[in-house]
């Protein structure tokens, strides 16, 4: 294995072991983007102009038993704008006592919510989807404000979230169970599906709406009550989402909302309570492993979408213009802070130089900036710690023999901005290849052939996403089949859809979100056998 990734997403320290000797870090390359290459829609631009003149005015409290309330100990925490470093809101900080009170009410509400017929449940959740769609401009502006997403990306996340909610609404009518006769013909077997019970839903900061929406919609569609715990860096978007569900008319106690900076204490207390029956978590492998160990005590169900180290393979018969265009999306959207993003660019030797020439030119046209500025095509990193970690990783690659073809530095401006960075010259044996970058850093590796590409793709602990570019569909399918990943995209960067399963293998997690089977993550089958004579 190439290194052992310490964790997924954003909360692990970078590798410290060098892989060789290299040159000193070169002087930063000044970014001179042409914003005309990435125009913003009029709708996004107008929403941005409006957001710049308004502060966040959504919920700033916990939701417990249908009431928005301050934390029991009145503690709060500040939410910052990563594009300026300035505070934008002060949120109630849930305590362990608040979390257990919310669980009390979720338990009380479970029986009635779980017994609600499919039709009424569909009507409530359909209204919630309508509410989220109607709040689209507010949600997009809130994501831009607290997560630094450029408005076009934020609007795209709103649309995807609405699609997931509507998908789960439709799935409610497709889980009635089935009837079968025993093999000897002496009794009938009725299989019915029942909600697992109260769930803890933990969502990350990088997709604060999409991940929370698809977890919440799946749990509620299955008839489970839910405690929503957003990331402390981005609680505002989830607060607006929860408000949309509450205003659809859901009964008190069905949803609890627990923004907090006391994540470990709250999760530990809730997982220690046998009344909680399921945890669905998106985040680092390190934290996911802790939650799974805690779940073992009461045999609680676990759905985990953890870290990634996505290989993006470009074979020698690929359409290089298409590959570059799609790699820009797979690598640099959300400033590289995407669990399914391209983490390792694996290039066949014969086309590597041409690909990198085109790729560096495309990267030079990216426009880092405020998410509300027309022409911005890449926002900030989420925090100064994340930015400093990215700079440290670049220095380690250079120390390992890497060459910075473009970028390489933090930008000297307010906020947590990085230059888009392209690095080459690092061998596949480098320990750093096992590190999830989670930053706008593209590292290119060269391989001789298909076998070398798949061997390197599989030589890490994780297996969430992968990408293959080839002009021969049969060849691409063969490589895709051999890559150890829960999801593989061929000749495209964007592939997630409500109708398809989302999740990984190996250290990237267990269970799936989306697809026909995802609602069953929150259901348990029950057999009822009736003697015929």
Closest CA to 444 of 358, 340, 322, 317: 358
- Asked if 224 is an active-site residue, the reply is no
Q: Token digits for 84?
A: 């300026």
DSSP letters spanning 72-103: TT--EEEEEETTTTEEEEEEE---HHHHHHHH
Torsion sign over Cα 233, 369, 40, 323: negative
**Catalytic pick among 153, 157, 305, 419:** 305
Q: What are phi and psi of 262, to 5 degrees?
A: -105, 50
**Catalytic pick among 199, 224, 244, 339:** 339
Q: How far apart are CA 37 and CA 364, in angstroms?
A: 11
Q: How far apart are CA 238 and CA 41, in angstroms?
A: 25
Torsion of CA 450, 454, 459, 461, to 10 degrees: 160
Q: Token digits for 129?
A: 């989807």
Q: How far apart are CA 210 and CA 234, in angstroms?
A: 12
Number of H-type helices and E-type strands within the chain: 14, 22
| DSSP 8-state class, residue 250 | P
CB neighbour list of residue 474: distance below 8 Å, 6 or more residues apart: none
Q: How far apart are CA 412 and CA 410, in angstroms?
A: 6
- Asked if 430 is an active-site residue, the reply is no
C-beta of residue 354 within 8 angstroms of C-beta of residue 509: no
Q: How far apart are CA 282 and CA 57, in angstroms?
A: 27
DSSP letters spanning 10-75: T-SPPP----S--PPPPPPPPP---GGGSPPPHHHHHHHHHHHTS---S--SEEETTEEE--TT--
Stretch (H or E) spanning 524: strand 523-531
Compute and round to an integer the Cα radius of gyration of the chain: 24
Sheet strands (E) in 349-390: none
Which active-site residues does the annotation give? 305, 339
């Amino acid at each position: 294995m190439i290194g052992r990734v310490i964790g997924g997403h954003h909360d692990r320290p970078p590798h410290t072991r060098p892989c060789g000797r290299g040159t000193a870090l070169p002087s930063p390359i000044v970014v001179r983007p042409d914003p005309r290459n990435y125009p913003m829609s009029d709708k996004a631009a107008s929403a941005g102009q409006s957001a710049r003149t308004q502060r966040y005015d959504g919920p700033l409290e916990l939701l417990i038993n249908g009431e928005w309330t301050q934390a029991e100990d009145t503690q709060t925490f500040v939410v910052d704008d990563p594009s300026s470093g300035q505070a934008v809101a002060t949120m109630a900080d849930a305590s362990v006592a608040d979390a257990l009170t919310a669980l009390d009410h979720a338990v009380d509400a479970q029986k009635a919510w779980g017994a609600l017929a499919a039709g009424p449940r569909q009507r409530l959740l359909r209204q919630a989807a309508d509410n989220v769609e109607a709040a689209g401009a507010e949600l997009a502006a809130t994501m831009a404000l607290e997560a630094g997403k450029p408005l076009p990306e934020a609007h795209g996340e709103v649309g995807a979230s609405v699609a997931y909610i509507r998908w789960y609404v439709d799935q409610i009518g497709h889980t009635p169970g089935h009837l079968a006769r025993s093999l000897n013909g002496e009794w009938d077997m009725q299989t019915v599906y029942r909600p697992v019970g109260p769930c803890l839903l933990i969502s990350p900061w990088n997709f604060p709406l999409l991940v929370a929406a698809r977890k919440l919609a799946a749990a509620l569609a299955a008839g489970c009550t839910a405690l929503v715990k957003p990331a402390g860096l981005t609680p505002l978007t989830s607060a607006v989402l929860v408000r949309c569900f509450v205003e659809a008319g859901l009964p008190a106690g069905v949803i609890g909302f627990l923004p907090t900076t006391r994540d470990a204490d709250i999760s530990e207390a809730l997982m220690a309570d046998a009344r909680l029956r399921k945890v669905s978590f998106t985040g680092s492998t390190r934290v996911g492993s802790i939650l799974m160990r805690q779940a073992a005590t009461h045999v609680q169900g676990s759905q985990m979408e953890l870290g990634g180290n996505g290989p993006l393979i470009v074979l020698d018969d690929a359409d290089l213009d298409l590959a570059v265009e799609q790699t820009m999306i797979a690598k640099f959207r959300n400033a590289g802070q995407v669990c399914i993003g391209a983490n390792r660019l694996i290039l066949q030797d014969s086309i590597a130089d041409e690909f990198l020439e085109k790729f560096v030119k495309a990267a030079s046209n990216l426009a880092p900036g405020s998410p509300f500025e027309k022409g911005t095509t890449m926002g900030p990193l989420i925090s100064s710690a994340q930015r400093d970690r990215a700079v440290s990783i670049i220095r380690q690659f250079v120390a390992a023999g890497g060459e910075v073809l473009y970028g390489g530095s933090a930008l000297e401006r307010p906020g947590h901005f990085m230059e888009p960075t392209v690095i080459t010259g690092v061998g596949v044996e480098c320990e750093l290849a096992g590190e999830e970058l989670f930053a706008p850093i593209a590292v290119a590796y060269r391989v001789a052939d298909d076998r070398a590409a798949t061997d390197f793709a599989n030589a890490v602990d994780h297996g969430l996403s992968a990408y293959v570019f080839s002009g021969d569909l049969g060849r691409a399918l063969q490589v895709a089949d051999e890559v150890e990943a829960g999801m593989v995209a061929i000749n495209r960067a964007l592939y997630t859809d409500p109708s398809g399963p989302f999740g990984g293998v190996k250290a990237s997690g267990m269970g799936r979100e989306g697809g026909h089977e995802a609602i069953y993550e929150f259901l348990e089958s029950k057999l009822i056998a009736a003697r015929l004579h």
